[in-house]
A and B are shown apart, each in its own frame.
Chain A
Amino acid sequence: MIRWDWIPGNIGQLAAALADHVVLTGIAVSVGFALSLLLALIIYRRRALYPPIAGVAGILYTIPSLALFAFLVPFTGLSLLTAEIGLVSYTLLILIRNIMAGLDSVAPDIREAAEGMGYTPFQRLVRVELPLATPLIIAGLRIATVTTIGLVMVTALIGEGGLGQVMLRGFNFRNYAAVYAGAAVTVALAIVVDLLLTGLGRLATPWARARGGT
């Protein structure tokens, strides 16, 4: 039996959990993106490093989340740090792959024109290649963010978890209203963030919409 009246009385708790969830996700994606960008730029300079870096990121990605957290707890405890190490690890593969795909998608003639006209390598990267990689980078951010929103739930098991906490407690106390409410808010969060990122991508790439018309 589901006590739906639990929800109106606990909006505050849900909101706090949502805020928590957003912060956990935000930190993970921001740090993950910064790290991925750094690694992608290293790969950009030294292509030979792509397979090993992608390989490590791939191994991290395949470790089941529970196992990863369980492995980390003896070192970093039941802490935010533990949660974030895990969450960040999971964003790396997606983000590095997409940043590299974006940089590689720049047509050779554009690169050659930039070089021939006297862009320094750094100017070419920042003013030409990264802007042109934006659509694929945004696509990577969307996948990474939505994935992270889901994974944050799991961190409830090590004392974090945002909306995952609400659901976990719901399970423990057979309070299915809390379970459903937590799930619904999580899904809504994922959808809203995805739409926001899509919109951000469109704003950042006005040229991509300008086609054909005269």
Chain B
Amino acid sequence: MNSMTAIPLLQVKDLTIDLFTEHAAVRPVDGVSYDVSQGETLAIVGESGSGKTVLNFAPLGLMPTGVSVQTGGQIIFDGQDITKLSERQLRSIRGKSIGFIFQDPMSALNPARRIGRQIAETVELHLGLSATQAESRTLELLKLVGMSDPESRLQQYPHELSGGLRQRVMISIAIAAEPKLLIADEPTTALDVTIQAQILQLLKEIQSRLHMAIVLITHDMGVVAATASKVAVMYAGRIVEQGPVHQVLVRPWHPYTTGLIDAIPRAEDMPGSLFRGLPGAPPILGGPVEACAFNPRCAYAIETCRNRRPPLLATPTPPVIAACPVVLGQWQEGGAP
């Protein structure tokens, strides 16, 4: 109950990320702020080009070769500003105080090494255990993630496991060092629904046991509702709406959030009836625009939306904030902005 007064574990303040590649300079994250406390799950929702993945991976030095990262703003994790750390300091945080789960466990695991060895390696590295100690800890971890017959699993290779079991292995590696924060990038997108339900349940159990904070990157509102307490909706590198899940998903303010939620098929939709969605296509990554990036697809767009950047405003359902001054009555057609 003291989470109200305690300092959040992760505070992102006005974060801007520029990526430079051989061909272009882009700003996939533009002035984003949020925080996550221990034991809390924040879902970051967005489509391709929304910047949701870059936001979480670029500041930790997880970008492919050939991409240069420049950050502005602050990311205060556990009392220190991550944007100021060197690669060596980041390395000691990655995998130790911050764990990662990726969408495709097969490409995140080494195909040529046994499961047990891969988990033990992480344990040895981050907890400084001996080989025998690491082995018993590995067994403990596999039991924790609900693997059946953990002793024989240790000897198996990733390709011998199903997608769901591989994701359990990934989770056991991610939580090996009992991280304070877990970043999960579309952890169930590649899985079947019955397996997805198991994995989401497992994440919840582990979270309450280890009291971790989780940042969950996803595009699936069902996953958000099932696991997160807070949600930030991103569009073209900016947060367009943010607040508690039980408020945002029930009463969205931003036309984009409304559109996304409206697009989910409902029980009362008859077979053969038209699908609801948004017109147009998601934005292509580029430089920042002095406008609302959503305006070409928006039914509420007025002239001001095309030449002014909409600020995040308080809504009638606090603490939800949304970046749509039109819906919130601040900008009017024809009126002076």
Q: Do A and B come from one complex?
A: no
